[in-house]
Structure 1
Amino acid sequence: MEKLTEKKLTKRDYLVVSSMLFGLFFGAGNLIFPLHLGQLAGANWVPATLGFLVTAVVLPLLSVLAVAAMHAEGVYDIGKPLGKWFAVLFMVLIHLTIGPLFGTPRTATVSFTTGVAPLLPKSMQTTGLLVFSALFFLAAFLLSYKEQHITSAIGKALNPVFLLLLFFLFFVGFSHPMGNAAGQATTAGYHTLGAGFFNGFLQGYNTMDALAGLAFGVTVVTAVRGLGLHRQSSVAKVTAKAGVLATSMIGLVYLFLIVLGAKSLANFKVSAEGGTAFNQLVTYYFGNAGHALLATLLTVTCLTTAVGLVAAFAQDFHKHFPVLSYVQWLALMSFASFLTANFGLATIISWSTPMLMFLYPFAMVLILLSVSGKWFNHDKTVYSFTVGFTTVPALLDMVSSFPPVVSQSAFGVACTNFEQSFLPFAAQGMAWVVPALVGLGLGLAVYKVRGRAAANATD
């Protein structure tokens, strides 16, 4: 009866879910990091773009497909093949990283620093951030208060406003280009094709979208079921289709932003970070009125991401730690994010990088294992060997990327020297790749041998 009565979604329903996914993924970092990458890469923007798209588009798409393939409802289910303790630990680390410690506070600080702060005198910066972040997270709390309304809030309302403003900027930027991207200088890390690709690959970590894609699983599943679907296969199919459409659009936006960043070098020097680059770009084309447009654009897109992050946090934590209700977890998450946001953007970025260098290898490994798991029945041995061999290099990458107080200490220098002496690709920040492949090979070998032994025992 369930199959007979289940609703058939229209194209409009698919567009709404895709729009929601776009809004959840596309936040502060998705605007500023590709623009800054374009400035860093200059004429070598093509290989840098390809590397960036791997971790900022392909990997988030695979995270959505992993959720669909595993019939998962959250990041917990992605880690579950390794046992409940690992799944809970992985879920908590992911949510803390993209949640109250780094990701969610960044949505408020980026929109304030690059959009609102230029409109305020320096003496009002601290108070301005306090007031802005309080109102920002109050709005995020109210928009995500009713779980079933998240689709409408993001997919039908906030996201279209953001897209209109963004594509208006693209139209002006490409119809009146600052210069030719191919003729611009490149910075030290982007002189060669290989270096450009690997640096673009690592820059994609900063978007946090692969981690967010796993965490958003519960939000997406809840929204899809709210459209009238109940069977796991139907929910997975809709999630996968919407994910392809949403990430394809995101990739197109990234391409435009990177090219604009490269073209901007004809008029500006390479900025310290993408927020400054975005401010320069908008000011160049729109003058003082550009600041108002920038503030609106950043606030809208950051708010859509904040809504998804606080909702996913509250949904997952209420499910696994039901001592608090969804609304109580939501309030706690919003308040904690408000507090962290007031440490400022620079502090948040400097301390988020090490955690991303640690978590991203695990996320990539688990996403790929989830997508391909049907070929080895999601065997725990394969997962254990692969994740186990990934752990040490991921820890070393984390230590090496800490601020100088840690990375330049005797312990930090010793870890960096050991890593670069014995692990391939350590200099590119990807020391985990070869160990993970070795672990995968060993895990698959054990799985095959054990399978043959079981088959022989039954003969």
Structure 2
Amino acid sequence: MLFGAGNLIFPVHLGQLAGKNWLAASNGFLISSVLLPLMALIAISITHSQGVFDLAKPVGSKYALVFLVLIHITLGPLLATPRTATVPYTIGIAPFLPANLDKVGLVIFSAIFFGIVYGLSATEAKVTDLIGKILNPIFLVLLFLIFFLAFLNPMGAAKTAPVTSAYTTNAFTNSFLQGYNTMDCLAALVFGITVITAIREMGFKQEKEVAMTTVKSGLVGILGIAVIYICLIWLGATSLHDFKLSSNGGTALSQIFHRYLGIGGDALIAVLTTLTCITTAMGLVVAFAQDFHQRFSKISYKTFLAINCFLSFVIANLGLDMIISWSKPVLMLLYPLAISLVILGILSPLFKNDPIVYRVTTALTLIPAIFDMINALPDGLRSTAFIQEILTYAQHYLPMFDIGFSWVSFSLIGLIVGLGIHFLRRQNSAVVEE
């Protein structure tokens, strides 16, 4: 459920951006795109939450509902779900179309894509078992075939690949932020209960057993995904010897597949990428429709499903580059809030899930996250006089603002203050009882 469109293209693009600093970039990317999703699953397990709403509820029910809606809209029709159509189109279809037919081709492809997604999701067809258990492994085998061929006959040495200015000195921090684009931490918060439920159905009933099994199985998953990411990042770095820096990883991946497998490989990757992205899209639209129907029961599951698929179709036709450019500000707002929530969930036994710790930490995390979101706006908006005044203020008063980490110190202060209030209250309560 977690390995979808973004997991393919962003590591390759990161490799092209980082060049010879690809290894340092891998470390930051792996922490945000692999370790954080595992931590999200652990947080859900430890807090016995049924999903992101329950995990955020100690902050307040209204906040939890707003946060749930924002995450689902981001994973749904705003960013992630449209990307499931644009990525296979960019990789498998666009390279074979004349430039003047690119937009028409995307309209036709995305319409068929989301029509299939809606049909399968509405009927809950078992075809997902076929795709998930047979075609996805075939796709991974094909991916590792590319890795094998690339190791035997590399396009060039990664250690001599050119580096973009952003990755010359800040490879780790920039790659950590690049990991936000996979949206896997957000997805783990949404899909987490599905994973926990599956573990419980295997016979693990006690909460400690469930938590430990989540950690152990998660570590296996982490190692697998980490290997794929490292290979994709390295592949992106070596590709700079044959290809120019692309605007997105989808274009680069298409070029790399064609180099090693020719026309036959192009056709195979087009089919398999489309099918695997259909699986991911189905998981996203079903989770969206189920959660929204649960919260707003007057509107049917199929109606929410149709709304999501239609809006995703519309957004998809803005193109992959446009979707990626608007992803950054949204993720710069949501990710700090999600990370702080995950850490609070893991630490919750320490402070008995006291809402005051959640509220103080979240409030202080939100302030710099809003500034980070503004700083990540597309250039057309960011260059306005009003926005520039806001950014000048933030640069003066928010530590680590320039590298996108101003929320860290605020969140840490919030956690310390919240814990201080909690333990002070507990101490006073104990004195009163005596």
TM-score range (shorter-chain normalised) is over 0.9
Q: Say if 2:102 is the partner of 1:125.
A: yes
* 1:287 partner SS: helix
**Are 1:422 and 2:397 counterparts?**
yes
| Runs of 5+ consecutive residues of structure 2 not aligned to the other structure | none
Choose from 382, 392, 396 the match for 1:407: 382
Q: Post-superposition shift, 1:232?
A: 7.3
| Separation of aligned partners in 1, 2:141 and 2:166 | 34
Residue 173 of structure 1 and its aligned partner are, at CA, apart by 1.5
Residue matched to 1:7: none
**Which of 281, 300, 304 is the aligned partner of 1:306?**
281
Amino acid at match of 1:418: Y
The question of whether the paired residues in 1 share the 8 Å contact of 2:135 and 2:272 is answered with no
Deviation at 1:155, TM superposition (A): 3.9
Is the contact made by 2:13 and 2:248 (CA closer than 8 Å) also made in structure 1? yes
Q: Which residue of 2 aligns with 1:56?
A: 33
What is the correspondence of 1:99-248 to structure 2 with a 5 Å cutoff?
A: 99-145=76-122, 149=126, 152=129, 155-192=132-169, 195-221=170-196, 231=205, 233=207, 239-248=214-223
Indicate if the aligned counterparts of 1:219 and 1:315 stay in contact, CA closer than 8 A.
Answer: no
Provide, for residues 120-165 of structure 1, a one-character-per-residue CA deviation record: whole Å limited to 9, x for no partner.
2233322221221122123323443466959735542342232122
Contact kept in structure 1, 2:357 and 2:418, CA below 8 Å: yes
Match of 2:261 among 286, 297, 302: 286
**Residue of structure 2 aligned with 1:359, choices 325, 334, 339:** 334
Residue 258 (structure 2) pairs with residue 266 (structure 1): no
Q: 1:18 maps to which residue?
A: none
- Note if 1:46 corresponds to 2:23: yes
Preserved contact between residue 148 and residue 222 of structure 1 (Cα < 8 Å): no
The 1:101/1:120 distance shift into structure 2, 3 A limit, reads same
* Aligned residue identity for 2:402: A
For the structure 1 residues 187 and 404, does the alpha-carbon distance in structure 2 shift closer, same or farther, using more than 3 Å as the test? closer
**Higher mean Cα deviation, 165-174 or 102-111?**
165-174
Give the AA of the match of 2:430. Answer: A
Question: TM-score, normalised on structure 1?
Answer: 0.89
Answering whether residue 48 of structure 2 is matched by residue 97 of structure 1, we say no
Scaled by the length of structure 2, the TM-score of the pair is 0.94
Query: Which residue is equivalent to 2:373?
Result: 398
Corresponding residue of 2:303: 328
Alpha-carbon distance, 1:247 to partner: 2.7
Query: CA–CA distance in 1 between the matches of 2:319 and 2:373?
Result: 22
1:4 paired residue number: none
Distance in 2 between residues matched to 1:235 and 1:156, nearest whole Å = 24
CA distance in 2, matches of 1:254, 1:188: 22
What code does the residue aligned with 2:297 have? P
Question: Can you list the C-alpha shifts for 1:276-295, whole angstroms capped at 9, x where unaligned?
Answer: 21122112212333322331
Offset, 1:253: 0.4
Over residues 313-372 of structure 1, what are the superposed CA-to-partner deviations in whole Å (9 max), with x where a residue is unaligned? 112112211113333322322222122212222221111211001000001000111111
2:362 equivalent in structure 1: 387
Summarize the Cα distance change of 1:217–1:238 in structure 2 as closer, same or farther, 3 Å threshold: same
Contact 2:136 2:272 in 1 (8 A): no
- Aligned with 2:155: secondary structure? coil
The residue type paired with residue 333 of structure 1 is N
Name 1:11's counterpart in structure 2.
none
Aligned residues of 2:247 and 2:321 also touching (Cα < 8 A): no
Match for 2:408: what amino acid? V
User: Alpha-carbon deviation of 1:268?
Assistant: 2.3
**Contact 2:44–2:193, Cα closer than 8 Å, also in 1:** no
Quick check: 2:16–2:245 contact (8 Å CA) kept in 1? yes
After superposition, the Cα gap between the structure-2 partners of 1:299 and 1:321, relative to the gap in structure 1 and judged at 3 Å, is: same
1:29 and 2:12 are equivalent in the alignment: no
8 Å Cα contact 1:205-1:356 kept in structure 2? yes
Structure 1 segments unaligned to the other structure (5+ residues): 1-23
Cα 1:71–1:51, aligned 2, differ >3 Å: closer, same or farther?
same
Shift of 1:171: 1.6
Q: How many residues align?
A: 433
Relative to structure 1, is the Cα distance of residues 240 and 317 closer, same or farther in structure 2, using a 3 angstrom cutoff? Answer: farther
- Assess if the C-alpha contact under 8 Å between 1:315 and 1:326 holds in 2: yes
TM-aligned CA distance change 1:310 to 1:211, over 3 Å: same
